[in-house]
Amino acid sequence: MNKVFTETGLWLIEFETGKIRIGLSPKGQDDLGEVSFFDPFPIDTVTEGESFCSIEAAKAVTEMEAPLTGEVITFNEELLSVPENLNEEDDELNWIIEVSVENFDKEDYLKEDLPIEE
């Protein structure tokens, strides 16, 4: 599985054909600071460029925008009680949502991994 990164601070992994897991990248963690609250929106689909959850952190409160369009499989429900998992580097902890898409070509959706600017 190859992890790819968006300019908006998310990572994506195609964990099965047509099934994408989305999480908070190191850039996103740096931009937000320590996460303290997570609020998923009650939606069945995500649309590229539209918000799918809200994250409250030390540096900002922000609505995360979907980098692609697809059907929601599930949200990481553990984040409701332990939003601090979004501060972790482990992909098994800091993922946010899983989405089913018809066609996934990472080149269509993603930008190259941008380094964290200091």
Parts of the chain with a pLDDT under 70 = 1, 106-118
Question: How far apart are the C-alpha atoms of 62 and 11, rounded to whole Å?
Answer: 17
**Alpha carbon 87 to its chain's center:** 12
The structural domains of the chain, ordered by start, are 3-102 (2.40.50.100)
Question: How far apart are the C-alpha atoms of 92 and 28, rounded to whole Å?
Answer: 16
Contact residues for 37 (Cβ-Cβ < 8 A; gap 6+):
54, 55, 56, 83
